[in-house]
Amino acid sequence: MIEIDGSFGEGGGQILRTSLSLSLITQTPFRLTNIRTRRKKPGLQRQHRTAVRAAVELGSAEVTGDELGSTVLEFRPGKVNPGDYRFAIGTAGSTSLVFQTVLMPLVLAGGRSKVIFEGGTHNTGAPPYDFVAKAFVPLINRMGGKVRVNLERHGFVPLGGGRWIAEIEGSRGLRPLELHGRGIIRESLVRALVSKLPDHIAEREIEAVRKALTLPAVQYGIERVDAAGSGNILLIEVRSDHVTEVFTGFGERGVPAERVAASAVDCATAYLNTAVPVGEHLADQLMLPIALAGAGSYTTLKPTLHATTNAEVIRRFLPIAFDFAFGDENCTVSAVTVSRPV
């Protein structure tokens, strides 16, 4: 059994999610201690427990310590079974983080799966559905995956109520990904989504982006969505020849629309001011797929602590290390096979 200290590095829920995915794929049990102990609410929260129980259901696994607030968990995997699943968080917890947990095990399991996710779809501190659909899933499919996603209903904090579906056709393996240039930016989309809120919020966000950011081939739009509760998110989508990136600003009570826009603009500006194809959040998401492919590399911005922590968790389960080669304004991240047996 692999022993993992959940307080090392970034110390967040990504350690748990990556461990669950790789435990199912490699059939290796693990024991995770100090789960999220440095967080304001330590231990397992609802979205983390849903991820654990999703992994248990996928792999007929045995688990102890999966109650809310638990800081110690033991997980013993069984064989992953493709099929039809429904995972409901019961709150506005992030469904995309549960998707992260089950995606790779189902991609590599063979057979077809249909997974329904219910809960939050656009959450602060987690990839929104649009990032999953526009930036991440297309690259998984380029590597040989066959994944389709469809959003049926938005879900914002605090009520949740969102619903989306992922259809996954199993693969025998993944191809390495080499992504070192984004090519020409073909189109940019700026969208402000609002549910049960005044239109002027979206209008102010759009106007703030117009004033602060120059985008090639840009289109602006306001989208009124019918979610269970009120909510708002600003999305800046940059479509290039070889990759699409999505940058977000999350509306929150008491936060002016201009500040929401500024958070998305700052992230987009950092990306556009360099020639890198992969933004900091996508860089983190790509580590597990290229490790499972056995090779691959991409050029990104300086990796976050979140990304380097994820790299270390992956190394505990797979004979793969990550090499970080720093340039003047970028970093090339490469998966490197090592001789240590799984």
Query: Quick one: tokens of 187?
Result: 């189109």
51, 312, 138, 94: CA torsion to nearest 10? 30
Cis peptide before 289 (omega within 30 of 0): no
| φ, ψ (nearest 5 deg) of residue 102 | -95, -15
Is 122 noted as a catalytic residue in this protein? no
Cα–Cα distance for residue pair 171/106, rounded to 1 Å: 9
What does the H/E/C string look like for the chain?
CEEEECCCCCCCHHHHHHHHHHHHHHCCCEEEECCCCCCCCCCCCHHHHHHHHHHHHHHCCEEECCCCCCCCEEEECCCCCCCEEEEECCCCCEHHHHHHHHHHHHHCCCCEEEEEEEEECECCCCCCHHHHHHHHHHHHHHCCCEEEEEEEECCECCCECEEEEEEEECCCCCCCEEECCCCCEEEEEEEEEEECCCHHHHHHHHHHHHHHCCCCCEEEEEEECCCCCCEEEEEEEEEECCCEEEEEEECCCCCCHHHHHHHHHHHHHHHHCCCCCECHHHHHHHHHHHHHHCCEEEEECCCCHHHHHHHHHHHHHCCEEEEEEECCCCEEEEEEECCCCC
Active site residues: 306
